[in-house]
Structure 1
Amino acid sequence: MAFVLLLQQILIVEGISDTTKDDGFMGILGAIVDNSSRIGKEESVAMQIAVEDLFNKNDQRLDLKIRNSQGDPLQAALAARSLINTDQVQAILGPQTWEEVSLVAEIGSKRHIPIMSLADATPEWATELCTFLVQASPNKLKQMEAITAMVQRWEWHQVTIIYEEKDFSATAVLSHLSNALKEVGAEISHYVALPSLASSWSEHLEGLKISQNRMFVVHLSLPLAIELFEKAKRMKMMEKDCVWIITDPFASLVLSLNASTISSMQGIVGVKSYIPKNEPHFQDFRDKFFQRFSLEYPEEENHEPSIFAAQAYDAAWTVALAMRGKKQGRQQILSNILQSDFHGLSGKVQFTNQTISPAHTFQIMNVMGESYIELGFWSDGLGFSQTIGESANFSSSMNVMGQVSWPGGTQGTPKGWSPPTSANPLKIGVPTRASFKQYVEVEMEKDHLGNNFSFSYKGLAIDVFKATLDELPFDLPYNFFPFNGTFDALVEQIHLKKFDAAIGSIAIRANRYQHAEFTPPYTESGLVMIVPVRSRTQEKAWLIIKPFTNSLWVLIGGTSIYNGFVIWLIERNHCPELKGSISNQVGTLIWLAFSTLFSLNSNKLKSNLSRITMVVWLFMSLVITQTYTAKLASLLTLPQLEPTVVDVFALQNSNAMVGCAGASYISKYLEEVLHFHHNNIKNFSGADEYAPALRSQEVAALFLNLPLAKVFLAENCKSFTMTGPTYSVGGFGFAFPRGSQLLPSVTQAMLKVSEKGTLQDLERKMLASQKCMDMDPEEDECLSLSVSPSYFWVLFLFTGGTSSMALAIYIFRAYNSK
């Protein structure tokens, strides 16, 4: 009997026993773990507990064969071959890394053995290529969105990512984080890939220390993360204004760290996978795990299970449920696994396309003291909450979770960046090809020996920038550097990190936003048309009739003839000179009508009626002649100018040539928006070419940005004018890197400069030297208008009424005398 029992045990080990004689025996399950890591140790214990629970609850036995890969992909592959060929396993759990899984999955798929991967992430193409590969641990991509929500909440704009150089799964995770950050106006400014050997990190960490950005996201394994924070503390990088956010797997293993390691991590915020710890099932598992783990691994100080233990338990339980029933084929086992639908220790266990459902809830923790505090939760599509479940109150703000303790013991939200220092000042690019030197001018100077060269920088842009820095609440060391290239190229240099900022007459344009961000414009924005002016009174011979409108001239003539007729009619019986032939009387009437404008002739009038008419008429004539004299004098002494072109349509209809600054976006705007033919657009290389081209009629109009147009007209105020509408384009601003931490502070300081009136004063000072003493345009326009009858209607009504009244009285008397 002893011999038979011994033989049976040997056959079971070799995987060739007749398992049908054991009604409770379901099969053999293999597992590959890295027992040198904390995760591997937890997974090993959790799988054993799962097998024991299966037997205790269902009276079904599952043999578990565990192999140690030691984190080596080759060892993992050899372990898989041994499990399949020697142990005759029907499924394999693990390993933990994708490098190991990739080799094991290839072996398993060839032998039709389901592989339950416990790696953090598995590429989508892997499950398509390896039909028996199942991703049993949920991907952590949503974890990156939780980090993005925190970045948005605290208004950080630049993030430095620290990850392991050989972590091939990090690519998908960091790509997801980058895309999520862009959606909230932030970006990853630096990618720091740390080698596996901590001894070679000096250069990387020194680069982090001198960088202005202090907002770090750490995506490292447990050993490397511990090394990083110990070194960071020694380098004084765990102090005020620094932000450190950790992810899984490290975040879920913080509880396993000793007090010495925890002390170097004070103020760190972590995003870790959520475990429903309050459920009875987990409490039962925790008690078993605590007891077994402390016995098997006494060297570990903490015996609490993490998410990795829970996921390993769920994976073993999933396979166990799939293997229930006699003589289950491997294809059927895979099919049963993919049809799983139950609540495990780590959450919902359900598969789609050979991948378990992703995690949607994460826990936010804050390292403090000898451990950490649980701040609250973040749930996809819901936001932050202090609790989880039906009573949870979700918000987009983290304020619902209480106060966070940051590095350095600060309670207020850290800036996440540090201003440049004198040792590492801001590098600011200044263009040397500016069209108008009034905005920015770069001059090269020699020393007193005539050898060494230096540059001087002046102009409105320089003055505004310096005034803005005076309003900042901190010192901002900087150095100017000349840039001899186009404005587009200058902005691109910021994206390439050759400059930290750029100032000058840089137009704010949509296509430049892919390389940089801008302050608000420090000038008026718009595109305007400048044309030559011409005299409104080109016909000099007819200038004498310009003081009055045609209608007023007709009214004066008609009133004079009418008044002359009235006086002639009244005085003809008293004065023989007013009688005679008809032609003589008509001539006398006309002479009497207009001679009164220049003399009273009152000694010749006999009737009081004609005298009254004459006095009122003469008063009106006096006012009109004085007005005419004044108006004619203004026309002869003041220039009467008007634009040669009224609007863009006139230019287009005449097929005229127009000009603009060379290598600028205005040429494209004229062609695509205002629909000028490209052959009718002339690009000028310098501002000194504008005026001669307009005077020689080489171009009929010039299109400039409004700020530059002001300078041009200040220098050439008598020959040219601005006309037509102002087209909406961006003004001039300062360029900073996308997501720059400095930009909000500089923007606020620039607004202070504008609100105090300093900006307007600087602009007036710039234009003062070019300003010419032209007449006020409004006054000029008023004087150029011809006088109309509306100015004198009362006088005409008075004199006409007086004449008519005298005529009526005369006729009445003549009629009664008969």
Structure 2
Amino acid sequence: MLLVPLFCLMSTALGKASVDDGMHAKMKGTIGLITDNNSRNGKEEIVAVKMAMEDFHHYSNQSFDLQIRDSHADSLQAALAARDLIDTQKVEAIIGPDTWKETTSVADICSQNVTPVLSLADATPDWSTLKWPYLVQISPNQFKQMKAVAAIVQSFEWYNVNIIYDDTDSSSTRMFSHLYRDLSVSGVHISNVLAIPPLSSSSLPQELEKLRNGFCRVFVVNLSVSLAINLFQTAKELKMMEKGYVWIVTDPLTSLVHSLNSSTISLMQGIVGVKSYFPEIGLQYKDFYSKFRKKFSLENPHELNNEPGIFAARAYDAAWTLALSMNQTTNKKDQTLLDKILLNNFTGLGGKIHFTDQKLDPSDTFQIINVMGEDYKEIGFWRNGLGFSNIIGQNAVFNSSMKELGQVLWPGRPWGTPRGWILALSKPLRIGVPVIDPLKQSVTVIQDQTDNTTTFQGFTIDIFRATMDLLPYHLPYKLYPFNGTYDNLVKQVYLKNFDAVIDVSIISYRYQYAEFTQPYTDPGVLMVVPVKSKVDHRGWLFMKPFTKTMWVLILAMVIYNGFILWMLERRHSPEIRGSMLNQTGTMAWLALTPLIKLDGDKLHSNLSKMVMVVWLFVALIITQTYTANLASMLTAERLEPTVDNIDRLRNSYIKVGYSSGSFLKHYIEKVLQFHPENMRNYGELEEFAEAFRRKEIGVAFLEVPAAKIFLAKYCKEFIQAGPLYKVGGFGFAFPRGSPLIPDVNKALLDLVETGKVSELENKMLASEKCEDTEVNGETASLSPNSFWVLFILTGGTSTFSILVYVFRMNYANSEEKTIWRLTTMIIQQCNHAKRRMSRKVSDVAENPTTSSTTHATPTQV
């Protein structure tokens, strides 16, 4: 403890010397810096802050007193340093420290003394500024770095990871929670979690040994540099840095990997890192880079690498932010230094300096590196919301997969991508098969007692074998019969009696014991009931071939055509004359004749014959269609469910059946809400049919595969009723987190897409398929839509004929009247001429001279 004040005095003198050298003696203000002087990031921060003070002096001719205190990576020492800086040195603001644990102690003292503190910790929680109003996070939040890790894991299709994190700092715990969430969203399962306390070097080999004995070979590491070095050294000794392993590391290790010596780098060959990114370009950075290397080498001669990292850039920006804020003058007397700090908006070495809610805007771009040889290689970048890219800039092209960035050197230097898991099989997988399956077509277990052999057959067995054949590797397995319920069968996976089980329904509560593949059958439950005739009033069946509208239209056409024929034939056939009753009966007979016989009475008018021919043609088609439709209705009886409403069924006393040993008992009772007293369980499908016939049950609830087989076998007796209840489906069950599930799911998808599943299902149903499969089919009544052309034809012909008839009658009447007038006129003229001739003859007899004269001069007559 006595060394601390002495070291503080030395560091203070060093800080003052670095600022006073070549500067004015009068200081603008005092700035404090709290960091771990013995850490690499602390050394970089000290040099960077001094450089910022010097550069700001050349920029504005203003000088600041810099007071540096060593926290020794201890929260108590950090608190004491903050108290000394505020009370003794009268600092106006403090920069640092790096860890959240130290920051909480410093922020508490600074807030009590109204002194801003610019924290370099990169995992400040959201509520921190509410508790400590003078706390400002100058380091951007790194939680999005976990999204980049999840994107890497997802790119290489690793579905299981082990997580190793630092248990010494609450910020690391928060990082783990974000990592867990982002991996879960990506569909990645956390196989194991190892939290390393600070003094765990003795137990670390045993903990890593447990992880090595597991199947997962992907490790995500979020540790401090010292703990990470110890981890990789132990992993190297346990041969966990060889082919088949994957190591993904995050900050703070990756941001300091440039400072590691060659012996430490040799322990990390092949690891992939997500590193905080800052643009190492521009004249400003080049000037900073060259000056930093010289100054860092002078102050830290024992450090082999003198290149600046993200910690140096952030410390430089923090010091520049404070210098700008303290140097500003304003007329607003009530504006505090904290307000000035939060108003900064410029681009620093580490990126954009802009505060929101007293926090620097979070980072959304990270660098992906790969450790190889004596250094690391930059693979590319990841940007939140865009993905991976080889470059950053306007010409950047982003991809969702890291595979697009190029070749990665993995531990053991393999050319291909590691699988991410290993299945150490000393013997074939033990696969459990249910013996009590009511669907013999799905699974049939034949046990031969003579030679003690067991044969497995059926649809599910064929699906499982085809799936195993499509795996990208050979996976030996052996089938074992299990005589018990399906729930107990799934529990055998949890109890490790089986490595997997097949032919089980995917139900939510079973996930506590196992994890399931995707279903290979249609999911759901169907309600099956007996059928009954859909025609209740068979006495009126003769009316069913046509709709009511069709019958009305036929009657209208009969009346209309009968009237037309009566009009056309009444003048030619004396037998249709007489009383009104006689004429009406004759009219009906003429219209109905084409419907009951093809040769009608002899007609006299040509127009009548034309009407009759068309009406005969239409009547022939109508009668033949009626006969065919009626015959279809009589031979193909229409059926309907005896019960089709589940609400009415639930309130009745009808018994319902379900399969023994299945989840349906729980589903029917709890979900469909049937009373247990009305429920009956049966084994094989034949038992359901017999129960229906004996009236023991009126309804059966079957899963879709069972319902398909049952309806195919008894299609003339039973029918589906009600909706499809979406539940589960049949699948394979594996232990939770099994690495086989993704590959098995892909193989099942290949089976579905190639049509193999449908082929096997059709093969299963072929032996049970009835000839009359359309049990729900019904011959529909015919409407006028099917005959409108014929009705227009006969109606139009009849109308045309009556119009011609009327026209001819009017024309004939008009012609008769004209001839009569002409005849009358001729007769009248003839009579008039006769009378004139008679008078002239009498005149000649009385006066001959006149007569002779008249004869002598005929031209005068």
- TM-score normalised according to structure 2 size: 0.67
Selected match of 2:305 from 299, 302, 306 = 302
- The answer to whether the 8 Å contact 2:36/2:70 transfers is yes
Q: Does 1:120 align with 2:122?
A: yes
Letter in 1 for 2:86: I
Q: 2:243 aligns to what?
A: 240
| Structure 1 residues 704 and 70: CA distance shift in structure 2, 3 A | same
**Equivalent pair of 1:660/1:666 in contact (CA under 8 Å):** no
1:42 to 32, 41, 44: 44
Distance 1:60 1:516, change over 3 A: farther
In structure 2, relative to structure 1, the CA distance for the partners of 1:289 and 1:78 (3 Å cut) is same
1:185 and 1:739 in contact (8 A); partners too: no
Counterpart position of 1:709:
707
Partner of 1:99: 101
Instruction: Answer whether contact 2:180 2:190 (CA < 8 A) is retained.
Output: yes
> What displacement does 1:392 show?
2.7
The 1:138/1:295 distance shift into structure 2, 3 A limit, reads same
Matched, 1:723 2:720: yes
Q: Secondary structure at the match of 2:336?
A: helix
Q: 1:370 aligns with which of 370, 374, 377?
A: 374
The 3 A distance-change label for structure 1 pair 115 and 397 is same
| Structure-2 residue corresponding to 1:577 | none
Q: Quick check: 1:139–1:359 contact (8 Å CA) kept in 2?
A: yes
Local SS of the residue matching 2:258 = helix
- Report the Cα distance in structure 2 between the residues aligned to 1:781 and 1:121, rounded to whole angstroms: 66
Q: Deviations over 1:315-341 (max 9, x none)?
A: 112112222268999981222111111
Greater Cα shift, 378-387 or 662-671: 662-671
* Separation of aligned partners in 2, 1:506 and 1:267: 43
CA contact (8 A) 1:363 1:377 kept: yes
- Between the two proteins, what is the percent identity of the paired residues? 46
Shift of 1:658: 5.5
For residue 148 of structure 1, report the CA deviation from its aligned partner: 2.6
For 1:136 and 1:530, the matched residues in 2 are separated by 68
The 8 Å contact of residues 71 and 100 in structure 1, kept in 2 or not, is answered as yes
The answer as to whether partners of 1:655 and 1:680 remain within 8 angstroms in 2 is no
The Cα offsets for residues 547-584 of structure 1, whole Å up to 9 and x where unpaired, read as: xx99xxxxxxxxxxxxxxxxxxxxxxxxxxxxxxxxxx
Please say if residues 513 and 736 of structure 2, whose CA atoms lie closer than 8 Å, have aligned partners that are also in contact.
Answer: yes
Q: Is the 8 A contact 1:30 1:66 kept in 2?
A: yes
What one-letter code is carried by the residue in structure 1 that aligns with 2:214? S
Does 71-80 or 498-507 show the bigger shift? 498-507
Query: Is residue 288 of structure 2 the alignment partner of residue 285 of structure 1?
Result: yes
1:529, CA displacement in angstroms? 3.2
Q: Does 1:27 align with 2:29?
A: yes
**Partner Cα separation in structure 1 for residue 499 and residue 514 of structure 2:** 10
Structure 1 residues 644 and 167 mapped into 2: Cα distance closer, same or farther (>3 Å)? same
Following superposition, the deviation at residue 178 of structure 1 comes to 3.0
Indicate which of 309, 312, 315 corresponds to 2:315: 312
Match of 1:357 among 346, 358, 361: 361
111-120 vs 329-338, which moves further: 329-338
Output the amino acid matched with 1:661: Y
Deviation at 1:292, TM superposition (A): 1.9
Aligned to 1:161: 163
Letter matched to residue 641 of structure 2:
V
Task: Provide the rounded CA distance (Å) in 1 between the counterparts of 2:270 and 2:349.
Answer: 29
Corresponding residue number in structure 2 for 1:173? 175
1:139 aligned counterpart, secondary structure: coil
Secondary structure, aligned partner of 1:504: strand
Query: 2:625 matched to which residue of 1?
Result: none
In the alignment, what sits opposite 2:641? 645
Contact 1:364 1:377 in 2 (8 A): yes
Deviations 1:158-204 (A, max 9, x none): 23221112231123323323333344333433322123233311232
Match of 1:475 in 2: 474
Find the aligned partners of 2:319 and 2:715 in 1 and give their Cα distance. 90
Deviation at 1:438, TM superposition (A): 6.3
The answer to whether the 8 Å contact 1:658/1:680 transfers is no
Q: Does 2:325 align with 1:322?
A: yes
Give the Å deviation of 1:222.
0.9
Q: Contact (CA 8 Å) 2:30, 2:66: kept in 1 or not?
A: yes
Query: Does the CA-based 8 Å contact 1:658-1:703 persist in structure 2?
Result: no
Q: 2:89: which partner in 1?
A: 87
Q: 1:179 to 1:484 in 2, by over 3 A?
A: farther
Q: Is the 8 A contact 1:660 1:681 kept in 2?
A: no
Conservation of the 8 A alpha-carbon contact between 2:123 and 2:142: yes
Change in 2 beyond 3 A, CA 1:397/1:214: same
CA–CA distance in structure 1, aligned partners of residues 184 and 494 of structure 2: 15
Residues in 1 aligned to 2:170 and 2:450: alpha-carbon distance in whole angstroms:
55
Structure with the greater alpha carbon radius of gyration = 2
Mapped contact 1:198–1:227 kept (Cα < 8 A): yes
Are 1:777 and 2:776 counterparts? no
1:334 aligns to 2:326 (yes or no): no
1:651-662 matches, within 5 Å, as: 652=648, 656=652, 657=654, 659-661=656-658
Query: Is residue 201 of structure 2 the alignment partner of residue 201 of structure 1?
Result: no
Alignment of 1:564-579 (within 5 A): none
After TM superposition, list the pairs within 5 Å mapping 1:430-469 onto structure 2: 439=442, 461-462=460-461, 464-469=463-468
User: For the residues of structure 1 that align with 2:398 and 2:255, how far apart are their CA atoms?
Assistant: 23
**Alpha carbons of 1:361 and 1:754: their partners in 2 closer, same or farther (altered >3 Å)?**
closer
Distance in 1, Cα, partners of 2:196 & 2:104: 23
Q: CA deviation at 1:525?
A: 4.6
Q: Deviation of residue 500 (structure 1)? A: 6.5
Consecutive unaligned residues of structure 2, counting only runs of 5 or more, are 1-8, 547-630, 780-861
- 8 Å CA contact retained: 1:531, 1:644: no
Matched residues in 2 for 1:651 and 1:326: separation? 79
1-structure distance, mates of 2:46, 2:334: 23
> How far apart in 2 are the matches of 1:330 and 1:301?
49
Contact persistence 2:638–2:776 (CA under 8 A): no
Give the aligned partner of residue 345 of structure 1: 349
For 1:779 and 1:315, how far apart are their aligned partners in 2? 80
